[in-house]
Amino acid sequence: MRSKFGNKKVEFNGYKFDSLAEAKHYWWTLKPRLDDGEITHLEMQTSFQIEIKGKKICKYKADFQYFDCKVIGPDGQHGALVVEDVKGVRTAIYRLKKKLVEAQFVGTKIIEVPASKYRSVKYALPSVSTAALKKAN
């Protein structure tokens, strides 16, 4: 089943991705960096709970989160936690949630990766089926 923005869910390399662009970002950008030791602790589909004065406001689900050994952190330390989101459409709700996460989790910066970066044929995935996945209920 396609989403309202036309994304197909993809299963690749043992992981489930919300879009083909997300799977390609993992394969062509994050996995090589992980294999080379530039990044560690790669997590996918991590959630951030947004609360104000103890009241739950919303939840934000990031595509990727990892520790980048080469980045200088917010306090000048070597290495920092990085959050990435592959985006085709920047909706108003997404922009608001991004601001809320960055405000509540001090030092967190969400990096947006344009999905259009992975439209080129040179970013094809090796033997992947783009069949839509069934929702796990």
pLDDT in tens, 33-52: 999 999 999 999 999 999 99
Residue 7 has pLDDT above 80, yes or no: no
119 within a domain of the structure (yes/no): yes
Residue 110 lies in a domain: yes
**How far is the C-alpha of 54 from the C-alpha of 64, rounded, in Å?**
26
What is the domain extent for residue 97? Answer: 10-123
Q: Provide the pLDDT for residue 125.
A: 84
Q: Is the pLDDT of residue 136 over 80?
A: no
Q: What pTM value is reported for the model?
A: 0.81
Q: What is the pLDDT of residues 71-120, one digit of tens each?
A: 887 777 788 889 999 998 899 999 999 999 989 988 788 999 999 898 87
Quote the CA–CA distance of 67 and 46 in Å, as a whole number: 13
**Overall domain count for the chain:** 1
Residue 137 has pLDDT above 60, yes or no: no
- CATH value at residue 71: 3.40.960
